Structure 1
Amino acid sequence: MTTALLDVDGLLASAREKTGLTDFGDEWFVEPLRVLVTALRSEARLSELGLALTRRRLTALLADRLRLRQAQSEHPAILDEEVVVAAEICGLPRTGSTLMHRLLAASPSVTSTLSWETSYPLPFPGEGPDAAERKQRAKDRAELFLRMTPEFGDIHTIEWDGPEEDVILLDRTFVSMSFDSFYQVPTYGLWLRAADQTQAYRELREWLQVLQWQDPSRRGKPWVLKSPHHLTAVDTVLDTFPTCRIVMTHRSPAEAVPSYASMVTSICHQYSDDVDPVAIGRYWRDRFAATLREFTSVRARRPDRFVDVRFRDVVSDPLAEAVRVSGLVGVPADREALSAYLARNRAQRHGSHTYTAADFGLSEADLKRDFAFYEEVVP
């Protein structure tokens, strides 16, 4: 098998054949797709299995684009859905952002993207409103992922039916941190950091409209979302969602960077037999330094749109911190629901995430030096 099987025109044709649909709408997404495919072919060192999985995944993402346009054409009311985003929870990995997201999303007064629907956001033909087929596929997919990468569960708790990062919806724009997290594609990551993501975020809104349209009980509820990807486009997030506030979870990058490098290394092994942990560690050190510099710049210009959360506060009293943040972003805090989630979260914890900075060609002293600019502004 050869990476020649991975080409943009072939992927577009496969998606059309798979769905029987032809209209992608505005084809602006072809540029980021070409950048990604070029990097996958030249840098990712895909294994035979990795190539097969990647081709299947990219085809499925393109098929979802076709199905989105069909749904909007057949049901124009989708585009009338009013989406109100109360918060995008950001922060580097291992900073308490996932816990904060799942706590806030536990309230019945808000809504969030669920893991199964980020993977399968549109109904399959003939599927009922209970989304039974999509839920079963998502459950099976989560179980397969953990079998392929069992250590991932020690890093990030997977709940196939629980709140998950909305960046997975952005995967369908091919403008997403998912790709350089799953593959060794540094040139794609460099392109992403410089890209204008306005069109991608417009489509994120469209995906939220589709999810809300499918479940009318969500209407009137503010969305609480989360992903570190949004640090690559902070201004764009705030411009696209005028009611949104960025909830930034803060912890020393000297701890966060090696942790994320460990997770990325683990995932990359699914797709490549030739994974370079040192290159991955240094890539994410540079990547996060650049995104945090942009974050601090935007935060200085638009301070009223940010809520700061310290990792130590999330750890020491998560209930109180979630109540505080809820008030600042203007959503109700349901203490009973928050307490129920905390109890479930404690029961889900297992294993330990073991790594050192040196495993990835890094040192704590160098990381502290490289991120001194950020440490100085952490509240």
Structure 2
Amino acid sequence: MTVTTALNVPELMDKARAKTGLSDFGDDWFREPLDVLVTSLNTEAALSPPGFELTRHRLTALLCDRLRLRAWQREHPAVLDEEVRVAAEICGLPRTGSTLLHRLLAASPQVTSTLSWEVAYPIPFPGEGPDAAVRKRRAQERMQMFAQLSPDFGDLHTVVWDGPEEDVILLDRTFVSMSYDSFYWVPSYGDWLRSADQSKAYAELREWLQVLQWQNPARAGRPWVLKSPHHLTAVDTVFDTFAGCKIVMTHRSPANAVPSYASMVRAMSSQYSESVDPVRIGQYWSRRFARTLQDFASAREARPGRFVDVRFADTVSKPVEVARNVLDALGLPAGPADDAAFEAYLAQNRTERHGSHSYAPTDFGLSEDQLHRDFAFYSEVYL
């Protein structure tokens, strides 16, 4: 028996077809990002045997979801008529308070957001009722497995299976996503991503939001407030895809944010490879974020009225005031119901796990002085 040691795109697609009994992937534009990703995984990621199996399973599951999306649209054509209104995409460098801000805003009864269990399993399983019991159970089991594989991750980022989660996880199904070079050492894929036209990926993000919205009539009339640092790589595409959407930009000194994210990447990528080089990770993300923020500045100059700035220190010290100000900027003035929801979330947040995690820039081949110099163009304007 031959043991497979490399990922193979046709084999992955055949496995997805066999698993679902479906054959229509729709437009095959996704083959380019998937081919680039798989080549990078095979040649650069140094996957461990468990990492290889986890990755093969994950890519197959994502391809299954592509098949299920097309089948769902055929079976429920009304889903394509759903009007998706995105009020805001929250983004900034990772580790800048965007998660706290997102979860706080998502508590508002005026808006809706993607939830962890539904970005993991956006389409009902056969025979599943409207309570989504199967998907919720699987999401809980999946989160428990993730916690076992990466026990330190909870100290870096509080994860709850039924709470607001990044919409970039929906983009994973397009294979155009920052998730991949965060979980794996795939620098050639990351280079490709920075120069890619992401318009078709974002068109599919809109389709996934239609699917989630159609399944939950309670979302009718409520705009989405979404979040992911990935959107920094595609600001113009966000605006072109979602008319009226604003970018809520979270700001924190890169001297803090970059090493913090490098620490998170080290924790995540250790699930998939036994060859994790923290210095290589730190230098990669420092370069990548500097380039991303430089590109972001030019996109911002073109449409300055579509940005809302929030500083990390303010989010931490006066979260309710910040949340109210952001809603006001989105044209959704906060009222007593919002204030009550914000306070309820903050009370819940205090009970969730918050571990301590120690690291230093030098752990990742970085220095505070160099980070201050490399990001001076950004810090002098926004901090």
TM-score (norm: length of structure 1): 0.98
Q: Does 1:42 align with 2:43?
A: yes
Q: Partner letter of residue 335 of structure 1?
A: D
Distance 2:258 2:6 in 1: 34
Distance 1:200 1:188 in 2: 16
Note the alpha carbon deviations across 1:178-208, whole angstroms, 9 max, x for none: 0000000000000000000000000000000
Query: What pairs up with 1:55-204 in 2 under 5 angstroms?
Result: 55-204=56-205
8 Å CA contact retained: 1:258, 1:360: yes
Distance 1:218 1:11 in 2: 35
8 Å CA contact retained: 2:140, 2:161: yes
Distance 2:351 2:316 in 1: 16
Q: Cα distance, 1:350 vs. partner?
A: 2.3
Distance 1:59 1:39 in 2: 17
Q: Does 1:344 align with 2:348?
A: yes
The equivalent residue for 1:215 is 216
Note the alpha carbon deviations across 1:25-50, whole angstroms, 9 max, x for none: 10000000000000000000000000
Distance 1:326 1:237 in 2: 19
Note the alpha carbon deviations across 1:68-116, whole angstroms, 9 max, x for none: 0000011110000000000000011111100110010001221000000
Change (3 A) 1:313 1:2: farther
Q: Partner letter of residue 74 of structure 1?
A: E
Identical counterparts, % of pairs = 69
Distance 1:12 1:254 in 2: 42
Q: Partner letter of residue 68 of structure 1?
A: L
8 Å CA contact retained: 1:36, 1:188: yes
8 Å CA contact retained: 1:3, 1:41: no
Q: Partner letter of residue 44 of structure 1?
A: A
Distance 2:324 2:254 in 1: 26
Distance 1:132 1:58 in 2: 24
TM-score (norm: length of structure 2): 0.97
Note the alpha carbon deviations across 1:92-150, whole angstroms, 9 max, x for none: 11111001100100012210000000000000000000000000100111111111111
Q: Partner letter of residue 361 of structure 1?
A: G
Q: Partner letter of residue 308 of structure 1?
A: D
Q: Cα distance, 1:313 vs. partner?
A: 0.9
Q: Partner letter of residue 283 of structure 2?
A: R
Q: Cα distance, 1:67 vs. partner?
A: 0.3
Q: Partner letter of residue 262 of structure 1?
A: S
Q: Partner letter of residue 24 of structure 2?
A: D
Distance 2:183 2:6 in 1: 19
Structure 2, unaligned stretches of length 5 or more?
none
* Equivalent position SS for 2:89: strand
8 Å CA contact retained: 1:109, 1:332: no
8 Å CA contact retained: 2:158, 2:354: no
8 Å CA contact retained: 1:89, 1:225: yes
Distance 2:217 2:237 in 1: 27
The equivalent residue for 1:261 is 262
* Equivalent position SS for 1:221: coil
Note the alpha carbon deviations across 1:219-259, whole angstroms, 9 max, x for none: 11000000000001000001100110000000111100000
Distance 2:339 2:315 in 1: 15
Q: Cα distance, 1:4 vs. partner?
A: 4.1
* Equivalent position SS for 1:270: coil
Q: Cα distance, 1:375 vs. partner?
A: 0.7
Q: Cα distance, 1:331 vs. partner?
A: 2.5
Query: What pairs up with 1:347-366 in 2 under 5 angstroms?
Result: 347-366=351-370
The equivalent residue for 2:234 is 233
* Equivalent position SS for 2:248: strand
8 Å CA contact retained: 1:107, 1:332: no
C-alpha RMSD of the superposition:
1.0
8 Å CA contact retained: 2:82, 2:210: yes
Distance 1:300 1:252 in 2: 21
Q: Partner letter of residue 295 of structure 1?
A: F
Distance 1:336 1:246 in 2: 25
Equivalenced residue count is 379
Distance 2:3 2:269 in 1: 18
Q: Partner letter of residue 13 of structure 1?
A: D
Distance 1:35 1:188 in 2: 6
Q: Cα distance, 1:2 vs. partner?
A: 6.1
Distance 2:345 2:126 in 1: 34
* Equivalent position SS for 1:21: coil
Distance 1:93 1:115 in 2: 18
